[in-house]
Amino acid sequence: MERHLAVIEREEPRIGAFLRVTEDLARSQAAEADRRLASGEGVTPLTGIPLAIKDVICVAGVETTAGSRILSGFRPPYDATVIARLREAGAVFLGMTNCDEFAMGSSTENSGYHPTRNPHDPSRVPGGSSGGSAAAVASGEAVYALGTDTGGSIRQPAALCGVVGMKPTYGRVSRYGLIAFASSLDQIGPFATGVRDAALVLQAVSGPDPRDATSADRPVDVLSELEAGVEGLRLGVPREYFQVEGMEPGVKATVERALLVLERAGAELVEVSLPHTDYGLAAYYIIAPAECSSNLARFDSVRYGLRVEGENLLETYLRTRRQGFGPEVRRRIMLGTYALSAGYYDAYYLRAQKVRTLIARDFEQAFLHCDAIVSATSPVVAFPLGAKLADPLAMYLNDVLTLGGNLAGLPGVSVPCGTSEGLPVGLQVLAPQWRDATALRVARAYEVARD
C-alpha cells in the first residue's frame, strides 16, 4: 500500500489518473489486511491488494462525483455492492479515478475536473470513459481497478493503455451503487495487468444481488477453465469488424498477427458475419442518450450535489444543470430527450431497439459456428489530446468494435496484443452470454502463447 501511494505521488503530475486519493482509508484497510494475514482468518486472494475505483461507483463516506461538477461534494451514505464485496475480501482502496463525465466519452477528456493522460505517451489520451482506471493500472499506481462499460468504456481504454479489461455479461455483476448512465447497457468490470488477475477480481464481485433486479441468480465460476487453452476451440473472425471506417492499417496488421498466435496455439479460425454492424453505432447513440436523459433527470440540486440559486425553483433547476453538466452530457441529454419525445419515439427509439434485436441475433447466429469472436478492440491507437474533441462523430467511432457487445449483453475482454506506431493495441474476445469464462480462457491462452 505504501509503495503504491508513493507511485501515485510520483506519477500523478504526469498522468492525472485520480480525482482523489483516500490515504487514510487505504492505511486503515491495509492495517486490517495485515491483521487478517497474520491470523490467517478471512484471507482471500484480494486481501491487502491495492485497487483504484472509477468515480461512478459509490464508496460510503468518500466523495463520488461521476467526474461531474454537478455531484461535487456528494459523499454516498452506502457502498455499491461491488465495493461491499471487495471490503469483505480485504481489499485496500487507494482512491477514485478520473473518467468522462457520467461515463460519457471515449477519451477521459470530458471529465468535469481535468483530462487523464496515457502513461505510454502523456501527449495522448488513455481512452474512455474509464481512462483513469486504465491509466492507474498501466502506470503502476494500482494493482487493479474497477471501471464500467456501457459501449466499450472498459475494453477501449484497456486497449489504448496496454492492460487487460473485462466487461462481464450484462447481469453478472450488480449495478447497485453505480451512478447510472444507460441502465440496460452499464456493467462494472475489472482492469488488471494480466488475465488471471482480472478473473480473480471478476469472481469476487460477481453474483446475484436482491437490490439489483437485473443481476442474475446464476452460478459464478470464471476460474475453472482459465488455463484450458484454445486447442479445439473455433474462434470467429467477423469480416465486418476488419472493414470498419477508420481502421488503422497498423492496428489491423497487429491483430491479424495475434490471430495467427491463437491459431498456432490450436484454435481454428473461422470467418463469421455480423451483418448489422454498420447500424450499431446509430442504434447505440439513440438508446444510450435516451436512457441517459431519463437517468440524469434526478440531478435537480435539491437533495445532493451542486446547487446554483435562481429567482425561483425552475430557474434554480436550469442554472444548476447548465453549470453542473458539461457540454457532452448536455448534448446527450438533448439527443435522448428528443428521441423519446412525442412524435419521434417510434421513428428513433423504437427503431433503434429493433436494430438492437437484430444485432443480438447476428451474434447468436455467429456463435452457432464458433465458441468466441476475436477482433481488434479499438480501430485506432491512442490519439493526441484534443484531436477529436471538436468532432463528436469521430470520437464516437472509437466505440464501433465494442458497443455491439453491450447491445447484445455479451461478455468481452481486451488483452494487449502488441503495438502500432509504438502504442498499445488490444485484442478483443467476445463470448456468448454467461460464457465469461470462455472469453477469459481465450484471452489467457493468447497471453500464454504470446509470452
Taking the C-alpha atoms of residue 395 and residue 108, their distance in angstroms, rounded to an integer, is 11
Cβ atoms 63, 74 nearer than 8 A: yes
* Closest to 400 (Cα-Cα) out of 287, 245, 268, 295: 245
Q: Which amino acid is it at 393?
A: L
The answer to whether the beta carbons of residues 43 and 53 sit under 8 Å apart is no
Per DSSP, the three-state class of 286 is helix
Tell me the DSSP string of 104-165. Answer: --SSS---SS----BTTBTTB---SSSHHHHHHHHTTS-SEEEEE-SSSTTHHHHHHHTSEE
Which residues contact residue 39 at a Cβ distance below 8 angstroms, ignoring those fewer than 6 apart?
none
CB-CB neighbours of 387 under 10 Å: 15
The answer to whether 179 and 58 are in contact (CB under 8 A) is yes
- For the purposes of burial, counting CB atoms within 10 Å of the CB of 264, is it exposed (0-12), middle (13-18) or buried (19 or more)? exposed
- Residues with catalytic roles: 54, 129, 153
Cα separation, 83 vs 122, in Å, equals 30
**Is 383 in contact with 434 (CB distance < 8 Å)?**
no
CA distances from 307 to 57, 70, 310 (A): 22, 8, 9
CA 186 to chain centre: 9
The span from the CA of 256 to the CA of 231, in Å, is 19
